[in-house]
Amino acid sequence: MPLGTTDIGFINKNNQWVMKETDLASNHDNQKIYWMECGECQSNYGANGCDIHIRKCPNCQGGVNNSEVK
């Protein structure tokens, strides 16, 4: 069975994977922040659950940096 975009271990088309769900609320209604890791450079960053499928690494792919999320 395929993983959903917010499932731990999901990897998107930009080689970004979901490491864990946080308890932090997203700036989108009914969303949480998820901790992501880049499969290219191993940088970690926060992402809105609804954005995981399109996220790019802020370090090596020009994506948005949510560095305050840990």
User: DSSP assignment, residue 2?
Assistant: P
Nearest CA among 26, 15, 21 for reference residue 63: 15
Domain that holds residue 34: 1-60
Q: Is residue 37 part of a domain?
A: yes
70 assigned to some structural domain: no
The number of domains in the chain is 1
pLDDT(66) > 70: no
pLDDT at 1: 78
pLDDT of amino acid 31: 87
Instruction: Note the Cα 14 to chain centre separation in Å.
Output: 11
Question: From CA 21, how far away is CA 47, in angstroms rounded?
Answer: 10
Examine residue 69 and state whether it is found in any structural domain, yes or no. no
Residue 8 lies in a domain: yes
Long-range pairs for 64-68: beta carbons < 8 A, 24 or more residues apart = 66/33
Residue at 27 is within a domain:
yes
**pLDDT tens for residues 21-63?**
999 988 888 889 999 999 999 999 999 999 999 999 999 999 9
